[in-house]
Structure 1
Amino acid sequence: MSKLTILNFCISKKTALILGGLGTLAAAYGIYRFIQSRHQPDEYFSTLKWQGGSSQRRILVLGLEAAGKSRLLQCFQQNSYPGNILPIPEPSIGYNIHSVGIGGVDYHFWEGRGTSEQSMQYLGIPSSVDMYIWVVDSSNPASFAKSRAAMHKFLDMCDRMTLSESKDCLSMVGAPLVIVAAQQDVEGSVSAADVLYEMDVDAIQHKHKVYIVGTQLPDVGQRKGLWRLYELVAYAEQKRYTPCIPAPSESDVD
């Protein structure tokens, strides 16, 4: 074998090693990117099938006016991708029902501002729900006290209505509560943890499992918090409790 042949062989071998190394590096990087993508929140539900099924979940979405309820539900829809511009939501009048099938489950969202017994009874609110979502505008601290009072009043009303109609407490009492700290992307907004503190949930945690989610849902651009909310809506278990129902007195028996 001539020196020239040996030289060409060595160069070809080295080139093959370099190319092989680059190919291995590219494959490893591809695997790394795949693993990383599996751990990234799917804020646009791109990995889910937009199809319902035999099971369903009913969710009440409530909060003060302009808290961000309608914007939240705009994101629970098909064909919503990065770059799409979300329209400005119109104010809610009474209760709106938003139904969508995701991942083989039918989700029915009742959205509104009504927190009175009359609105619950006459505006088509279900007598059984799987979850409450209470939306708070985290960029407006002046509204926290009003929102906190309305939330506690509403939950107390639901519990009383349920106990008067269902002694086994399987309709509304004990449904988990998700507090959504909306508009986290607005400058000067209060953190989700501080919003949870302001809502004073200690008085209701013996009856409702409470979660907190901070969301950033701009008209266009990167979303945050929506995937975590979906996980809770889809999988959060209800924490039920059996309240002490006073025994009838002798006068009641007579």
Structure 2
Amino acid sequence: MSFNSMLLAALFKPSALSMILIACLLTHSDLGAAECGILKMQKHRSSGVNVVNNYCTDDSALSLNTILQIPAGARLWLESTNVTQNSENFQIICQNKSIAPVSIKIDRAVLPWINPENNSHCNSWTNDRLECQELNSEIKTLLCAIAQIKKSPVSEMMQRKTSLTLRGLIYKKNNAPFSDGVQTGTNQWKADLEPEINLCRKVFQVDDPITINWKIRTDGKITDTSITETNIDNQFTECAIEVIKNFSFPIFEKDIPVILLFD
């Protein structure tokens, strides 16, 4: 008799067996719910990543034993789903530095959550960082790092405030200096952007100061992104610029050029 047949029989003929079968079914459902949504993939920042063996119904939620296939040269962004009371959650960045796809598996429900499927050439997680290399070589194939990202308690309030107070600002000259209001806004932006940029630093082990330039268009889109310094790791600069492009800036009546130093 199949499991489903046994379950139907148990439902219509209450017995000790029925209680066991129903308990097993409920336990399986509870385990499935507990194992689903352990991590969340930031799909807009994980271009080309293929998701395998994920039974979560939510589009971005990931279950235990999910396999994430990262294309050559691509980057994966993950975040924890259980945000603590102090508004901190974890974010994970993995950079595939090889010329072939790399597979990551969610193999546990607790920190650090993930490991490469084939980790024979990887070190163990050290200070929330993982590094893999080619066999008999120092050429890096995979870099991952984890960090707690604390959301500023005034960030959302500042964004609402700047959206209202700065939206009406009109520059008299294209290169006019920031007013006190805009300067206050950029100070807050820097504070909110730095944790993710520091996570990029952690992945690529880059400590050099960087000056990021960008423009906030009147439709809120970010354009003209660049980094002033030269001889900075290209994948690190891409990661840092991705942080800028993912941030929600206020809307202005004119295009706003921004230059911020992160040191």
Task: Give the alignment's TM-score, normalised by structure 2.
Answer: 0.25
Q: Which has the higher strand share?
A: 2
Higher relative contact order (CA 8 A, sep 6+): 1
Task: Give the alignment's TM-score, normalised by structure 1.
Answer: 0.25
